[in-house]
Chain A
Amino acid sequence: MNIELTAQQKGLQQEVREYMKTVMTPELLEELKIPEFKEGGGPEFRKQYARMGADGWIGLSWSKELGGKELSHIEQYIFTDEVVRSGFAYPFLTTESTTPVIAANANAEVREEVVGGVKQGKVVIAIGYSEPNAGTDLASLTTKAVRDGDDWIINGQKMWTSLANYADYVWLAARTDPDATKKHKGLTMFLVPTNIEGFSLTPVHTLGVRTNATYYSDVRLPDKYRVGEVNAGWKLITGQLNIERLSLFTHGQVDSLYQGVCEWAAQTAAPKGGKLIEQPWVQHNLATVKSGLEVVKLICWKQVWAMDQGPLNMADASVAKVYSSEFFVELYRLLLEVMGQAGTIAADSPGAVLRGRIEFRWRVGAVLTFGGGANEVQRDIIAMAGLWMPRTR
């Protein structure tokens, strides 16, 4: 039992932290103030993403065959944690979730086109799972793909297709067997280039970021863009969701907010003298945040350590999701309370604290408890897989 990073792992952490400071250029910080580009996609973001590719930072976890470095899950987590900490809108779902699945299952030509592009920091992939009537019950999706010679004809609508407005492909789940006995057995995965005829989108402005509704109207897609076997898409989706959760709830992103508020409160005068951080109620909030943050760190470490040992325990993965999502929301509130009304001032207004990051994270964080697997479903899994309690329903 030894719950500390090794000297080598600390070295990697430091190296990534230093490198990411050079990625977060003043131009990029300016660009991030524009609502349209808060989650990436602006020209400066594209430039820095490509630079990370050229400097060899993309795909570290991939096999050597694909040009990766086969980093262990622990090392990969250290990289992810530091990149998110820096505030760079790195497209983890592209690099860590979908690309390895595409590399393992796509045809050679598409693999070269997509995996090669991602490696160079030139390709971003959006996820096309959810539909207006298929959310938590994802397997009930109705977007249809019908075989027509060497092509597929795709019709349907996807919801919450984040990044689709600047992504190069949509990683699309479609129904290819409407008569399958079990609904999750009739699904197939496709890569849809966003410049293809019949593809369109409309923006959806949320409490937090801009996302999209995407439409597929008689899209004629060559069969080479099918990934994996026909009607065998479900396994590719669920495998990807587990990895998605790992990059959603990292320690660094919230630890940096906590540190930022501590530093701010130590410099800011309290109304009746002394610094704000000397107020007992401020100390109480900061200590509550720190106690909770420690668990976020340990949950992440234990998960990646466990992944290096073998498959992830189902109940543990759900514990991580529920705890982290609910704690993040609590943390935003506890830190915003310390700042009071100043915490509500937006990034591009005078007087904004910490570039308005925490208010923004709170907005984005509203989706955490239901996104990536609703917490009620996760609690059902914990009761069944962790405690052998009978299935609800």
Chain B
Amino acid sequence: MNFTISEEQQSAQQLAQQILSDFTDVDKLKVIEQQQENFDTGLWQALAKAGLLGLDIAEDQGGIGLGFYSLTTLCEEVGRTVAPVPVVPVLVSAAGTLRRFASNTQQDQWLPGIASGTTLISAALEEYNNDDPTTPSCSAQKMEGGYSISGTKICVSQAPSAARILLSAQTDEGILVALVDPRAAGVTLNAQTVTTGETRHELVMAKVQVPAEDIVATGSEALAAMDWAHLATRTALAAMAVGLCDKMMRITGQYTSEREQFGRPIATFQAVSHRVADCYIDVECLRLVTQQAASLMNEGHPARDAVQIAKIWCGNVTHRVSQASQHCHGGTGVDRDYPLFRYCQWARQIELTSGSSAQLTGELGQTICAEYLSKAG
């Protein structure tokens, strides 16, 4: 048992902290937010140059191979700074899945470009009312030289600029995982503005022809790939929430220590300080369940329950800390010239991505039921 990360992983996290805070002062964020995609390509290049896009990409493919856990610490730092960079869809959902499930040729084709920041591969794991990529309603028909895919994915990050979008579809013989070119015939991208304020896309596919070389996996291998992507994405979102909530809570601790009413800092009212102390407890709980999930994923050990529990806490804690932070700030908290609103928007976005707390609590309950019914015989 060990609750610390290696020195190498520590320096990577500190480097990320440095670069991300350099690029995320309020004026810079405002400029990026004026742009269509809300993506800071300069920051992305800086992260690439520092090797941080390749934390979970093997060394012979241009990465530094520190593993999945290290990647989750980058996600945590991105959350802490609400930096406009798509680390979860590109580095976790897409690159992480390719690294573990794609053919050597596909890995050689895409991973070096992702690590160097020259290529973006996004992922489209969610459909309407379905966050589970192992049970897609999109369908795929086998055809000469590949598959023809139809159906709709939602809230896809970086869809217009991505070279390919990793997604799953149902065939007559189980699911498949494919890399879809968003410029291919039959693809329509409809802009969707989401809570964070960024533009994402509804990806509508009508008989899109995907060549065999862009099929990542089929059958049980595809199922394993989407299962991993689902768990890894949830874990990474929880890690992002750790940084996000930790920072919101600290902003609130500082603000209430300085803001005076009735002749004293409002933090000296226990009704206020205890609410912030509750955020501290919540954040520590979220940190622990997230570290456990990320550590199990990193080791390749069974992690389903741990990840589910981490995402349940993630949804609850983002909601509670965000609400408490807004409340303790009064009007200042909602002012767009003050940094807090971005954190609250991201908190809600993460909470509702890849399964809500209510849904996952229901699913965990079904797992418990199945486990004890089978024990009871």
Interface residues of A (CB under 8 A from B): 1-6, 9, 74, 262-263, 265-267, 275, 277-278, 280, 282-284, 286-288, 290-291, 294-295, 298-299, 301-302, 305-306, 315-316, 319, 322-323, 376, 379-380, 382-383, 386-393
Contact = CB atoms under 8 A, between A and B. Distances in A.
A353 to B, nearest CB: 15
B292 A298 contact: yes
Interface of B: 1-5, 9, 69, 249-250, 253, 256-257, 265, 267-270, 273-274, 276-278, 280-281, 284-285, 288-289, 291-292, 294-296, 298-299, 301, 305-306, 309, 312-313, 361-362, 364-366, 368-369, 371-373, 375-376
Contact of B5 (A1, A5, A277, A380): A1
A287 B253 contact: no
Contacts of B291: 1, 3, 298
A389 B364 contact: no
A383 B288 contact: no
B376 A266 contact: yes
A71 B4 CA distance: 21
A299 to B, nearest CB: 7
A294 B295 contact: no
Given A4-B299, A283-B365, A319-B280, 19 more contacts: A263-B372, A275-B376, A277-B373, A280-B362, A280-B365, A283-B369, A286-B369, A287-B368, A290-B368, A302-B3, A302-B288, A315-B280, A376-B274, A380-B273, A387-B253, A388-B257, A389-B267, A390-B257, A392-B269
Contact of A301 (B1, B256, B277): B1
Interface centre among A2, A295, A389 (most CB of B within 10 A): A389
A306 B3 contact: yes
A298 B288 contact: yes
Nearest to B258: A390
B273 A392 contact: yes
B376 A1 contact: no
Q: What 10 pairs between A and B have smallest CB-CB spacing? A: A283-B365, A387-B253, A266-B372, A287-B365, A287-B364, A298-B288, A379-B277, A382-B277, A383-B273, A266-B376
Contacts of B299: 2, 4
B312 A382 contact: no
A178 to B, nearest CB: 32
A169 to B, nearest CB: 36
A290 B365 CA distance: 9
Given A280-B362, A290-B364, A319-B281, A1 B69 contact: yes
Given A387-B249, A389-B253, A319 B284 contact: yes
Nearest to A378: B277
A262 B306 CA distance: 19
Nearest to B376: A266
Nearest to A302: B3
Contacts of B289: 291, 294-295, 298
B368 A286 contact: yes
Given A263-B375, A266-B373, A390 B268 contact: yes
Contact of A262 (B280, B294, B372): B372
B288 A380 contact: no
Interface centre among B269, B296, B301, B312 (most CB of A within 10 A): B312
20 contacts: A1-B291, A1-B298, A6-B1, A262-B368, A266-B372, A277-B369, A283-B369, A287-B361, A291-B313, A295-B289, A298-B292, A299-B285, A302-B3, A383-B274, A386-B277, A386-B280, A388-B253, A389-B253, A389-B276, A393-B268
A392 B257 CA distance: 11
A305 B270 CA distance: 32
B5 to A, nearest CB: 5
A262 B366 CA distance: 12
Contacts of B269: 392
Given A3-B291, A265-B372, A389-B273, A305 B1 contact: yes
Nearest to A74: B1
Contact of A323 (B276, B281, B376): B281
Interface centre among B265, B301, B309 (most CB of A within 10 A): B309
B19 to A, nearest CB: 22
A4 B301 CA distance: 10
B375 A383 contact: no
Interface centre among B2, B276, B277 (most CB of A within 10 A): B277
Contacts of A298: 288-289, 291-292
B285 to A, nearest CB: 5
B309 A290 contact: yes
Contacts of B312: 287, 291
B372 A3 contact: no
Interface centre among B69, B288, B291, B305 (most CB of A within 10 A): B288
A282 B369 CA distance: 9
